[in-house]
Amino acid sequence: MTLHDAYDPNNIFAKILRGEMPSMKVYEDDVALAFMDVFPQSEGHTLVIPKQVEARNLLDMPSDYLGSYVQRVQKVARAVEAALSPDGLVVSQFNGAPAGQTVFHLHFHIIPRWEGKPLGRHASGGMATAEELEPIAKRIRAAL
């Protein structure tokens, strides 16, 4: 998929926003929704997606909405750090399939990192269960 294909309103994140697919939510307001990645690269891997826009990637995001959205990304990143005390955090965002994007709705990954602990591959590990994700999500929610 190219950077500028049409937005697909049936992508998995759009379905999550409409309540058609489940997610393990950690934060939600009128600007953004944050939830646990079901294919985590690390314990606590969280995704933050914008609401009320049809932006496939950062290039499609309306500029006047970007600041408030990135503030939510920072808020969730701070909560992940407070909840899990990692040695570092990866905050990343991919634009287009060649760059690694697999869901074509703008989203940021917040991935905790610990010294000496390898990172899983993007979008290719085993699927986590709700039972595995809920205790981590609860800690992040408590930090918000």
List pLDDT tens digits, range 117-136: 999 887 777 899 999 999 99
Torsion of CA 99, 22, 125, 59, to 10 degrees: 10
Q: Which of 4, 45, 105, 107 is catalytic?
A: 107
- Residue 137 is assigned to a structural domain of this protein: yes
Question: 44: domain CATH number?
Answer: 3.30.428.10
- Residue 6 is assigned to a structural domain of this protein: no
Distance CA 125, CA 41 (A): 7
Distance CA 143, CA 114 (A): 19
Secondary structure of residue 40 in the 3-state scheme? coil
**107 in active site:** yes
**Count of domains forming the chain:** 1
Tens-digit pLDDT profile for residues 57-115: 999 999 999 999 999 999 999 999 999 999 999 999 999 999 999 999 999 999 999 99
- Residue 2 is assigned to a structural domain of this protein: no
Q: Which domain holds residue 113?
A: 12-143
- Residue 3 is assigned to a structural domain of this protein: no
CB 112 within 8 Å of CB 45 = yes
From residue 44, how far is each of 6, 54, 73, 120 by CA, in Å?
Answer: 31, 26, 14, 12
- Residue 4 is assigned to a structural domain of this protein: no
CB 91 within 8 Å of CB 108 = yes
Distance CA 52, CA 48 (A): 13
